[in-house]
Chain A
Amino acid sequence: MEVIKFGKFAALVVAFGVVVGCSSKGGDAAGTGAVDPNAGYGSSTSSTSGSSVSSEEAALRAITTFYFEFDSSELKPEAMRALDVHSKDLKAQGNRVALEGHTDERGTREYNMALGERRAAAVQRYLVLQGVSPAQLELISYGEEKPAATGSSEEAWAQNRRVELRK
């Protein structure tokens, strides 16, 4: 139910070109100053709102990594906008993609394996709600085993809490 609600919310966001900040329900990351590699993305696209729809679509299509707050598997509005474009493509082309869930290094490895899957499943659920067939989506969690950025900083952790859509 909640996901559907968020889907509508995201659609509204796209329709009105509203810039929305962090809508996280606030897992542990609330107030921890976690860095979001996608931050500022919304504002940069809204400034080009006058340009053609296709170029905006192309920009969204180029986004294949979706970031999460700490200990959260909740999709961010900017991720939903990119996923809307991907779902359109997936429905049109019928191809199969992998959704790889990842976490940062904090917490135990096997728990993070489960958390990474929860994140991949959140992306899967959203895409299925947009009409993509579950058979097109392969879920795999790597937990904290394949960090995108090394090191134990807030910046590295924010880069690592992600789902990657791979063709």
Chain B
Amino acid sequence: MNTMKYWLTCAAMLLLAQVALAQEAIEITRGSDRATPIAVVPFGWQGSTPLAEDLAEITGNDLRNSGMFQPFARENMLSHPTRAEEIFPRDWKMLGVEYVLAGQVTGSAEGYQVQYHLYNVAREQVLLSRTVSGTQNQLRDMAHRVSDEVFEHITGIKGAFSTKLLYVAAERFSADNIRYTLQRADYDGARTVTLLQSREPILTPSYAPDGQRIAYVSFESRRPEIFVHYIQTGRRERITSFEGLNGAPAWSPDGKRLAFVLSRDGNPEIYVMDMDSKQMRRVTNHYAIDTEPTWLDNNTLVFTSDRGGRPQIYKQNLNSGTTERLTFVGNYNANAKLSVDGRTMVMVHRQDGYRNFHIATQDLERGNLKVLTETSLDESPTVAPNGTMLIYATRQQGRGVLMLVSTNGRARSEIPTKFTDLRVPSWSPYLP
């Protein structure tokens, strides 16, 4: 009897091991190729006091966030070159590093320059030698500029590290004393600026394609209204204040129109407003919930509807009115966002059950679905303008946090913050 038990246990363990192996195999094949090892050497600085920012660290984090690079650990570097002629290929070949980024910061509080060099180790060749300059307050911008240039040079994809992020922070002092603030930060969460503060909820901020205007929903008058807010001047314009829902604003790619949701006709429908004339027209007409519009192009809306019984994603041509369902896998697909090239859709996806909401991508041409996150209650995805990264909201130990994940699934990190509860991130377009 005992031997039987022994063998059964062994068999069970073998089976488990096989399952584990199979899972590991899936993990390995998840990224199509490995992240490129790059050494971002600490930039040289001769000043008497340390620089306010570690530029090489910021650049290294940028490159890591893309999921396409693996920055090499500083403590394992054999040398710290700051000029092109100090980069010795053997120092890096033996470490398996493919690229070296080295640089030197000069200047004073009145103005700084970073002179950097990108070096291909295998070819033993300097690929790029450039200078980026800025003021004391622009040190982080300078680091992101370096990241953008290096990223584009190696991958051919325009870098999106000099972009901004909007999100809403909620600070709960008591059950009915919550301070909601609309924050604008660098894409990596640094340098937050408060754009709006309210005792009532703020929801669904959305960057206009010009990077100058944002739209959002504010409950400041104790009911939802859609506002357009000019970032530079702080000027605000109330766009809708109808009875019922006023929600989910989304800019058209040409920045001329705003899609949103109103329920003034009795149930949630999608409308499109021309922002010059303020003329609006209703786009959907269905007794189901139609919400979360987003634009595939200037003539096509993608939105969430439960007209099929469950929330799923549909697309509608604004000229012809034809509607087509886009999602068929899973019992809940909602809040779609599209990559700028219109090929990839990112959304909130629930495979089955009632609790596990993940972020998934769907290839709109081939239809295949890839689940990017493993936590539950993941929501509000927003995509970087170059499509390589996305940020989403989830919950950790009872608080809302924002996570950054590369579209290839390889890199993942939490957006740092001083606030306790974050939600509804919105990634800016490329900014001038």
Q: 0/1 per residue, B254-297, Cβ < 8 Å to A?
A: 00000001010001100000000000000000000101100000
Partner of B380, one of A108, A114, A145: A108
B354 lies within 8 A of A29 (CB)? yes
Kindly state whether residue A93 has any CB partner on chain B within 8 Å: no
Q: Which of B71-79, B111-119, B124-132, B244-252 contacts A (4 or more CB under 8 A)?
A: B244-252
Give every chain B residue within 8 A of A152 (Cβ-Cβ): 377, 395, 398
Q: Does B383 reach chain A (CB closer than 8 Å)?
A: no
The reply to whether A106 and B204 form a contact with Cβ atoms under 8 Å apart is no
How many Å from the CB of B122 to the closest CB on chain A? 46
In this complex, how many residues of chain B approach chain A with their Cβ under 8 Å: the count is: 38
Q: Which residues of A contact B395 (CB under 8 A)?
A: 105, 152
B334 within 8 A of A: yes
Q: Which residues of A contact B306 (CB under 8 A)?
A: 111
Question: Chain B contacts of A110 at CB under 8 A?
Answer: 203-204, 247-248, 261, 291-292, 304, 335
Report if B424 contacts A (CB, 8 A).
Answer: yes
Contacts of B348 in A (CB 8 A): 107-108
B positions within 8 Å CB-CB of A: 172, 175, 201, 203-204, 219, 222-224, 243-245, 247-248, 261, 263, 267-268, 289, 291-292, 304, 306, 311, 332, 334-335, 348, 354-355, 357, 377, 379-380, 395, 398, 423-424
Assembly CA distance A121 to B247 (angstroms): 17
* Contact call A150/B398, Cβ cutoff below 8 A: yes
Interface residue A118 (Cβ < 8 Å from any Cβ of B): yes
Query: A29-B354, A118-B289, A141-B245 given as contacts; is B204 within 8 A of A109 (CB)?
Result: yes
- A30-81 residues at the B interface, CB under 8 angstroms: 32, 70-71
CB within 8 Å for A109 and B398 given contacts A114-B291, A139-B244: no
- Specify the chain A residue showing the minimal Cβ separation from B176: A146
Bound CA span A115–B203, Å = 16
CA distance A134 to B369 in the complex (A): 45
One digit per residue, 1 when the CB lies within 8 angstroms of any chain B CB and 0 when it does not, for chain A 96-113 equals 000000000111111101
Q: Closest CB of chain A to B98's CB: distance in Å? A: 40
CB interface residues, A 123-149, toward B, < 8 Å = 139-143, 145-146, 148
Q: In the assembled complex, which residues on chain A have CB atoms less than 8 Å from the CB atom of B175?
A: 148
A108-B311, A113-B224 are known; give 7 further A-B pairs, CB within 8 A: A105-B395, A113-B245, A117-B244, A140-B222, A141-B224, A145-B203, A150-B398
Please give, as numbers and ranges, the residues of chain A lying within 8 Å of B334 by CB-CB distance: 107-108, 111
Report the minimal beta-carbon distance from A112 to chain B, rounded to whole angstroms. 10
Cβ–Cβ contact B354 & A109, under 8 A: no
In the bound complex, do residue A111 and residue B291 qualify as a contact, i.e. CB atoms below 8 Å apart?
Answer: yes
Q: Number of A interface residues, CB 8 Å?
A: 29
Which residues from B are CB-within-8-Å of A107?
311, 332, 334, 348, 357, 379
Expressed in whole angstroms, the minimum distance between the Cβ of A119 and any Cβ of chain B is 12
Chain A residues engaging chain B, CB cutoff 8 angstroms: 28-29, 32, 70-71, 105-111, 113-115, 117-118, 121, 139-143, 145-146, 148, 150-152
Docked-complex contact B289 and A115, CB < 8 angstroms: yes
**Are B311's CB and A111's CB within 8 A?**
yes
Report yes or no: B354 in contact with A28, Cβ–Cβ below 8 A: yes
- A29-B354, A141-B245, A151-B398 as given contacts; A111 in contact with B201, CB under 8 Å: no
By a CB distance below 8 angstroms, the chain A residues around B424 are 109
8 contacts between A and B (CB under 8 A): A70-B354, A109-B204, A111-B289, A111-B311, A111-B335, A113-B247, A117-B245, A152-B395
Given A110-B247, A117-B244: A105 in contact with B292 (beta carbons within 8 A): no
CB distance from B401 to the nearest CB of A (A): 13
Report the nearest B residue to A115, measured CB to CB: B289
Chain B residues within an 8 Å CB radius of A114: 245, 247, 261, 263, 268, 289, 291
Question: How near does chain B come to A159, taking the closest CB pair, in angstroms?
Answer: 12
Q: Which residue of A lies closest to B292 (CB)?
A: A110
Interface contact A146-B201, CB-CB below 8 Å: yes
Q: How far is the CA of A126 from the CA of B243 in the complex (A)?
A: 20
Q: How far is the CB of B319 from chain A (nearest CB, A)?
A: 25
Contact, CB under 8 Å: B289 / A105: no
- A84 → chain B closest CB, angstroms: 25
Smallest Cβ-Cβ distance to B335: which chain A residue: A108
CB distance from B25 to the nearest CB of A (A): 32
CA distance A27 to B32 in the complex (A): 40
A111 lies within 8 A of B398 (CB):
no
A117 close to B204 (CB less than 8 A): no
B354 touches A140 (CB 8 A): no
What separation, in Å, do the CA atoms of A73 and B354 have in the docked complex?
Answer: 16
A118: chain B residues at CB < 8 Å are: 267, 289
The smallest beta-carbon distance between B379 and chain A, in angstroms, is 5
Q: How far is the CA of A110 from the CA of B290 in the complex (A)?
A: 10
> In the complex the two chains form, what is the Cα distance from A114 to B292 in whole Å?
10
